[in-house]
């Protein structure tokens, strides 16, 4: 299997999607030299970091890279997902934020899905991503003012954000950056594996559907350069993300039978929960008008080329996370609801893989509890903005109102914080909301797995990137142990 970037006729394992989870799975599986692995991605691959072919907006940790490699999904709110090897780790905000013990203990402890089991994989992923602690001297002026404001309101922890002895308050967060480079999962996981002869990468290849016969997937249909091709493999691992992984399953005939039949898709396996429980963090951005001084000081700060640094504030009950940012048009303090009651769903409207899935985040149906919590966060953001450190640099852009008026503004303004999860939920087979078992396998199919954010039973009260990596680390290790007894590939 000679293979840097080509399309093999056969693989032991086809990993479908080269985002954060896919990079982890492909890298860890090919540590077993007898496993031939093909990593399939719809977007481009710019090669190893050292070759210097990656676009500037992808590399620059402080740049907004959401648009240049976006899938263009719609859904009433911004639904950016990266179409590129490295996935959303190539465009994200670089935060490495740990989930709480309570978050992971709520998953499925009886099957080993708990904080104690996942902790080793969280550490492993953080190290692989070159996670580093931010430093106060590296905070841009608006972020530095936010941290000072938190101190004035006695909301700063005095410790780093991930410090378990400081579970709430404002603190500096860890980042997956190297200097000012956004160190994405392709650099962290794929680059060390690219030389392996048992790894093939096939970028610019759209994943259509699995071909399933008698509870066994025999191949996956993909489209490359306008030509449909079959990739034959023994095992198939979906790592296409919380939007695309359920869509691939549905196009393959796995989902709600009636809905699939209406689209002309023959139901293969009835699994109504596929795509039915989209979890995400709703965000509202409290806008401020930056002063000329803030813009000038920020330009001077960035010109020096200091490493990026970030700060976040988490409320005592972990219900909210607040964070400052400065964009081309305005300064902002974002308010993020950590575990909303509202849920959404993913559906498909066509069997055609070029037709984007329909995405409903559920943010237009926020509950009264959700609205009250976000309103508390907006008021806290305005209070922080009114302290001298922030008020000297920016002023509120508009009156957001109070009571029902504020709730109306929240309903109209809430967007995703780009942390979708839960659409192929992990859980016991007798639970109606479950899609995969404790190994990530789809029950009823003996060789199809999901190993990305889709399987999260509940959303962590944190940026989900580190948790996604840990989930993929754990499931890839389990699968590798099962499959690695096969003979080694000659010449590896």
* Coil vs helix vs strand at 211: strand
- Residue 3: the pLDDT is 37
- Residue 4: the pLDDT is 41
* Coil vs helix vs strand at 388: helix
464 vs 312: CA distance, rounded Å: 15
Shortest CA distance to 30 belongs to which of 222, 218, 194? 194
Where does residue 158 fall: left (phi above 0), alpha (psi -120 to 50 degrees), or beta otherwise?
left
Domain ranges of the chain: 10-127+181-278+419-483, 135-172+282-337+367-413
- Residue 308: the pLDDT is 84
CATH fold for domain 135-172+282-337+367-413: Cholesterol Oxidase; domain 2 (3.30.410)
Say which residues have a Cβ less than 8 Å from residue 16's Cβ, sequence separation at least 6. 22, 40, 207, 220, 236, 237, 238, 239, 240, 248
DSSP H helical ranges for 206-340 = 241-251, 257-262, 292-303
- Residue 204: the pLDDT is 97
Output the tens digit of pLDDT for each of the chain's 492 residues: 333 445 677 899 999 999 999 999 999 999 999 999 999 999 999 999 999 999 999 999 988 787 889 898 865 445 789 999 999 999 999 999 999 999 999 999 999 999 999 999 999 999 999 999 888 999 999 999 999 999 999 998 877 788 776 778 999 999 999 989 999 999 999 999 999 999 999 999 999 999 999 999 999 999 999 999 999 999 999 999 999 999 999 999 999 999 999 999 999 999 999 999 999 999 999 999 999 999 999 999 988 888 889 999 999 889 999 999 998 778 999 999 999 999 999 999 999 999 999 999 999 899 999 999 999 999 999 999 999 999 999 999 877 877 779 999 999 999 999 999 999 999 998 899 999 999 999 999 999 999 999 999 999 999 999 999 999 999 999 999 999 865 554 433
DSSP string, 302-354: HHTTPPP--EEEE-TTS-EEEEEEE-SS-EEEEEEESS-S--BEEE-S-S-TT
Same fold, 10-127+181-278+419-483 and 135-172+282-337+367-413: no
Where does residue 72 fall: left (phi above 0), alpha (psi -120 to 50 degrees), or beta otherwise?
left
Question: What is the model's pTM?
Answer: 0.95
Computed on alpha carbons and rounded to an integer, the radius of gyration of the chain in Å comes to: 22
Specify whether the CB–CB gap between 434 and 426 falls below 8 A: yes
- Residue 402: the pLDDT is 72
* Coil vs helix vs strand at 368: helix
For the domain covering 10-127+181-278+419-483, report its CATH number: 3.50.50.60
């Amino acid at each position: 299997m000679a293979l840097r970037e080509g399309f093999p006729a056969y693989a032991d394992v086809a990993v479908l999607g080269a985002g954060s989870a896919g990079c982890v799975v492909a890298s860890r599986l090919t540590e077993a030299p007898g496993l031939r692995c093909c990593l399939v991605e719809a977007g481009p691959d710019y090669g190893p970091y050292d070759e210097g072919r990656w676009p500037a907006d992808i590399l620059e940790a402080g740049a907004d890279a959401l648009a240049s490699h976006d899938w263009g999904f719609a859904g009433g709110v911004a639904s950016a997902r990266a179409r590129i090897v490295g996935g959303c780790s190539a465009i994200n905000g670089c935060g490495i934020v740990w989930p709480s013990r309570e978050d992971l203990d709520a998953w499925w402890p009886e099957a080993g899905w708990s904080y104690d089991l996942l902790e080793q994989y969280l550490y492993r992923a953080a190290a692989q991503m070159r996670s580093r602690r931010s430093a106060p001297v590296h905070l841009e002026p608006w972020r530095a003012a936010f941290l000072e404001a938190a101190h004035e309101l006695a909301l700063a922890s005095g410790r780093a954000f991930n410090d378990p002895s400081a579970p709430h308050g404002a603190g500096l967060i860890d980042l997956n950056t190297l200097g000012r480079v956004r160190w994405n999962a392709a650099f962290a996981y794929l680059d060390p594996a690219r030389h392996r002869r048992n790894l093939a990468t096939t970028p610019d290849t759209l994943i259509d559907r699995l071909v399933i016969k008698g509870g066994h997937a025999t191949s996956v249909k993909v489209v490359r350069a306008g030509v449909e091709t079959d990739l034959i493999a023994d095992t198939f691992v979906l790592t296409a993300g919380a939007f695309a992984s359920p869509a691939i399953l549905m196009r393959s005939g796995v989902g709600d039978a009636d809905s699939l039949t209406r689209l002309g898709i023959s139901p293969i396996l009835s699994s109504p929960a596929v795509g039915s429980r989209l979890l995400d963090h709703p965000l509202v951005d409290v806008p401020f008008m930056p002063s000329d001084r803030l813009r000038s000081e920020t330009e001077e700060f960035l010109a020096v080329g200091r490493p990026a640094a970030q700060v976040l504030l988490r409320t005592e009950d972990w219900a909210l996370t607040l964070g400052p940012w400065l964009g081309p048009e305005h300064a902002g303090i974002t308010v993020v609801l950590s575990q909303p009651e509202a849920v959404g769903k993913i559906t498909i409207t066509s069997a055609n893989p070029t037709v984007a899935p329909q995405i409903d985040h559920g943010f237009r149906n926020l509950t009264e509890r959700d609205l009250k919590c976000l309103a508390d966060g907006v008021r806290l953001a305005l209070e922080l903005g009114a302290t001298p450190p922030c008020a000297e640099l920016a002023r509120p852009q508009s009156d957001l109102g109070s009571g029902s008026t504020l709730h109306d503004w929240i309903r109209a303004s809430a967007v995703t914080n780009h942390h979708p999860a839960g659409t192929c939920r992990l859980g016991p087979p007798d639970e109606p909301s479950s899609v995969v078992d404790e190994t990530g396998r789809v029950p009823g199919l003996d060789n199809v797995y999901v190993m990305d954010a889709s399987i999260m039973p509940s959303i962590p009260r944190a940026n989900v990137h580190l948790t996604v990596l840990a989930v993929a680390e754990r499931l890839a290790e389990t699968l590798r142990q099962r499959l690695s007894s096969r003979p080694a590939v000659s010449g590896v």
